[in-house]
Structure 1
Amino acid sequence: MTDKKRILITGAGSGFGEGTAIGLAKLGHKVIAGVQISPQVTALRRKVEELGLQDNLRVERLDILDAYDVKFALTWDIDILLNNAGIGEAGPTFEIPIDLVRKNFETNVFAALDLTQRFVRKFIDEKRPGKIIFTSSMGGLFTPPGYGIYVATKHALEAIAEALHDELRVYNIKVQTINPGAYLTGYNETMADNPFRWLDDNHNVTRRADMKAIFDSMLGTPQGRLDPTEMIDAMIQIVPADTGKFRNVVPQFVEDMLKENQTKAWANEI
């Protein structure tokens, strides 16, 4: 691959996706920012114009659950696919409605895998190298209470990425994961609000106040409200690179915590 890459980023209407798209375009890469809904297209295109990045940053609607959007996306010539789109459903795993579980897996796992398979086949048929990246999470490597379903989708992505990493090596297609810590993009905070749509003290075992206390204990600390600029700066370097680690956890203290947690897991008892 050349120094300047053609990169498609899904879920680029806000947060890490938007920041990474802008940062990569500023470095001269040709970026397609795929956003979920039409108002995001208008808003981001206006920002692109204000930044003077029209030559490098193209904004398109790409709802990864929409078959027509996906079919159109496959007409784009890219070197790198960054699967960044995702949603988060939180709440007690033993009570969360199953339809919300299915919805979370449909977006985070099935749709991401479907898009990946299609671009992988495109790379192989065109006999050229490529790169697939999944925005996973620190939650792809451990499971805090209250986030079991969301992180289950990220655990699934970790397994998929590991398999693809080995399976696609022969085709010169590289695979990576990016595993952010708890950055303050609004994503985690919105996810923590989601259970209160359905948690009912007159019906559920889990009390709303107890659930809120769990979320506050995680998101109300400095470690749960990290500056997303750090993560975006890292992604801008990781995404276009021809070499690097398979798994990329940022910041370092989160990587250290995850390794310690995984070691302790072997001693867990019921």
Structure 2
Amino acid sequence: MADKKRILITGAGSGFGEGTAIGLAKLGHQVIAGVQISPQVTALRKKVEELGLEANLRVEKLDILDTYDVNYALTWDIDILFSNAGIGEAGPVFEIPVDLVRRNFETNVFAPLHLAQQFVAKWIKEKRKGKVVFTSSMGGLFTPDGFGIYVSTKHALEAVAEAMASELKRYNIQVQTINPGAYLTGYNETMADNPFRWLDDNKNFTKRAEMRATFDSLLGTPQGRLDPNEMIEAMIKIVPADKGKFRNVVPKFVEDMLKEHQQKAWDVTI
């Protein structure tokens, strides 16, 4: 087990972020759980109290798009930034409104990069070791129909993280990605509902029933509804570790699928 660390987790109001925050606190790490909205603060603080984790788990409002939240977060003394916050926009790439694309990139790429840059600068100035872990996705390495915009943000995050990992080695700052498969946290299901806010059978080439069938084919199978506890357990091990792989795909069958997909990509024709 790695030494006890001070860890900030963004997007900790639910799902992977919340579960990992609780798990790391139970192991004795000092964790700050950053959540997007005030009701999440209240709910998670109550859960922390019920679990008796007040000494190790602090809950703070941290909307990564809120300048005041971010400036406050930068006053916290941490060893590891686990950049987990994100949103997902789905739907056909050739029809999705571009303002939704911009919003997805702002939340999933620009804001996480900006926050990471500032913590990295602090560590470099203080001549301290540090670590940034980005929650990417299996979709950071391939592109299924209907999810092209969301996974394009994760493709971008993969490039950002890979460059940072190389650039920061000389400063003793580590960078990793975690690439979850299709775990049943509600995140993917909510993302699959988002296009139906704007898809209109009278206007769009892609019909609503067709889009729903595409999502059901991906998320309605056992492989699309994995137990999130498996991923949380992996995150609890990966995030505080001093050694490990740069890219961490879970579960193993998804890693194998991605490797096969990437190999076959060299032979794709138009």
Say yes or no: TM over 0.5: yes
Q: Percent identity?
A: 81
Deviation at 1:65, TM superposition (A): 0.2
Q: Aligned residue for 2:203?
A: 203
Q: Aligned residue for 2:146?
A: 146
Deviation at 1:236, TM superposition (A): 0.2
Which amino acid is 1:167 matched to? E
Q: Secondary structure at the match of 2:43?
A: helix
Deviation at 1:43, TM superposition (A): 0.2
> 1:119-198, aligned counterparts within 5 Å?
119-198=119-198
Q: Aligned residue for 1:235?
A: 235
Aligned length: 269
Distance 2:99 2:13 in 1: 25
Deviation at 1:234, TM superposition (A): 0.3
Distance 2:125 2:51 in 1: 36
Distance 1:156 1:213 in 2: 27
Q: Secondary structure at the match of 1:7?
A: strand
Which amino acid is 2:137 matched to? S
Distance 1:54 1:167 in 2: 37
Q: Aligned residue for 1:117?
A: 117
Deviation at 1:118, TM superposition (A): 0.3
Which amino acid is 1:108 matched to? N
Distance 2:105 2:144 in 1: 18
- TM-score norm. by structure 2 comes to 0.99
Deviation at 1:36, TM superposition (A): 0.2
Distance 1:137 1:163 in 2: 17
**Structure 2 residue 72 is the aligned partner of structure 1 residue 72:** yes
Distance 2:97 2:160 in 1: 25
Distance 1:18 1:161 in 2: 23
Q: Secondary structure at the match of 1:266?
A: helix
Distance 2:241 2:135 in 1: 15
Q: Secondary structure at the match of 1:60?
A: strand
Where structure 2 has 5 or more consecutive residues not aligned to the other structure, the ranges are none
Distance 1:156 1:133 in 2: 15
Q: Aligned residue for 1:105?
A: 105
**Structure 2 residue 255 is the aligned partner of structure 1 residue 264:** no
- TM-score norm. by structure 1 comes to 0.99
Where structure 1 has 5 or more consecutive residues not aligned to the other structure, the ranges are none
Deviation at 1:158, TM superposition (A): 0.1
